[in-house]
Amino acid sequence: MTHEVVIIGTGPAGLTAAIYAARASLNPVIYAGMLPGGQLTTTTEVENFPGFEHGIMGPKMMADMTAQAERFGTKVVYETITKVDFSKRPFTLWIDKTEIKAKTVVIATGATAKTLGLPDEAKLMGRGLSTCATCDGFFYRNKVVAVSGGGDSAMEEANYLSKLCSQVYLIHRRSEFRASQIMVDRVKNNPKIKIMTPWTVEKPVADASGLTGIIVKNLETGDSTELKVDGLFMAIGHKPNSDLFLPWVDVDSHGYIKTTVHTATKTPGLFAAGDIADPTFKQAITAAGMGCQAAIQAQKFLEEHEEQ
């Protein structure tokens, strides 16, 4: 069977594409990948998505979007696409050895958290190192933690952790913050958060049970010191998940997929929506808007290529 529309990724972009494609009777199939619901499932309250006057928890928003997509007939598959061949239509995708055929594909695979590349990083992930306060903060109740980064994610994580932990250090390599002023102000006004700039994390200190501290360096004075912390949350941005789709898409120097007109990639019938194709805004609402565009684009493409 060849699907009309296959969507890869269940963040706001993928699920909005699914809602629109399903309502256009295209029977979309959406693959959830390794983080069903996408990055918003690892966040706390979403305050800036229009329509939720008092905010909504990220995981709840994604569960509702999934249910909405399913209500109109979207098939949600909790598997990860492992290989694709977009060299000819219908396109071919694989989940390991299982082959899937699709007339159009919407890539909405978003981005993955970056890490600092510290010594023993992989070994200490889940044993003191984390990239997700919402996922792991629970384990650090009444403990001392540090957050690395100077963007909105770092501010959000620091604020979230301050509600659970006894003390939070926010460590950022510059004295200026990339984060929005409102987020910075919340951190500055939070008595449980101690801001350290311009500092950088040099290496973890650990014993057999996991992280016990971090060596931090002041970039102005060159001084290094050990900070006793039980956890370090790396909140330094994300890498777009585009590797699987090369060479059928063009990417920029950071790996974001380049689109031409309204989510269209260089391969006819292949569309990209959300953070995977958005180096600038990276918001849930812009991702949803792009998902809508991709679905309508796919519908138009199918109408214009009825011979398939």
Which CB atom, from 77 or from 124, has the smaller least distance to ligand NAP?
124
Supply the minimum distance, in Å, between the C-beta of residue 285 and ligand NAP. 10
197: its two tokens: 């700039």
Q: Active-site residue among 64, 85, 96, 135?
A: 135
Between 49 and 72, name the residue whose CB sits nearer to ligand NAP.
Answer: 49
Q: CA 13, CA 293: separation in Å to the nearest integer?
A: 9
Task: Count CA within 13 A, CB hemisphere, residue 260.
Answer: 10
Alpha helices in the chain (DSSP H): 12-23, 58-71, 121-124, 133-136, 152-162, 181-188, 284-304
**Residue 150, CA atoms < 13 Å, CB-side half-sphere:** 14
CB of 100 to ligand NAP, least distance (A): 31
**Least distance to ligand NAP from the beta carbon of 90, Å?**
35
All residues at 6 or more sequence positions from 290 whose CB lies less than 8 Å from its CB, including other chains: 13, 263, 273, 274, 277, 278
Nearer to ligand NAP, 99 or 176 (CB): 176
Neighbours of 85 (CB within 10 A): 11
> Is 292 in the active site?
no
Which is the catalytic residue, given 136, 230, 275, 278? 136
The residue nearest ligand NAP at its CB is 151
Nearer to ligand NAP, 103 or 282 (CB): 282
Between 69 and 236, CB nearer to ligand NAP: 236
Distance of CA 95 to the CA centre of its chain: 21
Residues that bind ligand NAP in the complex, under the rule CB under 6 A: 48, 116, 148-154, 156, 173-174, 178, 236-238, 282
96: annotated active-site residue: no
Q: List, as one string, the DSSP characters of 3-50.
A: EEEEEE--SHHHHHHHHHHHHTT---EEE-TTSTTGGGGG-SEE--ST
Token digits of residue 248? 């059928």
Q: What are phi and psi of 8, to 5 degrees?
A: -110, 110
Helix (H) or strand (E) holding 156: helix 152-162
Shortest gap between Cβ of 42 and ligand NAP (angstroms)?
10
Closer residue to ligand NAP, CB minimum distance, 90 or 274: 274
Q: How many CB atoms lie within 10 A of CB 53?
A: 7
Minimum CB–partner distance for residue 143 and ligand NAP (Å): 22
| Backbone torsions φ then ψ of 155, nearest 5 degrees | -65, -45
136 catalytic? Reply is yes
What's the CA gap between 187 and 222, in Å, rounded?
25
State the minimum distance, in angstroms, from the CB of residue 201 to ligand NAP: 7
Bridge partner residues of 75 (DSSP): 29
Q: Which of 132, 165, 230, 292 is an active site residue?
A: 132
Report, as residue numbers or ranges, the catalytic residues.
Answer: 132, 135-136
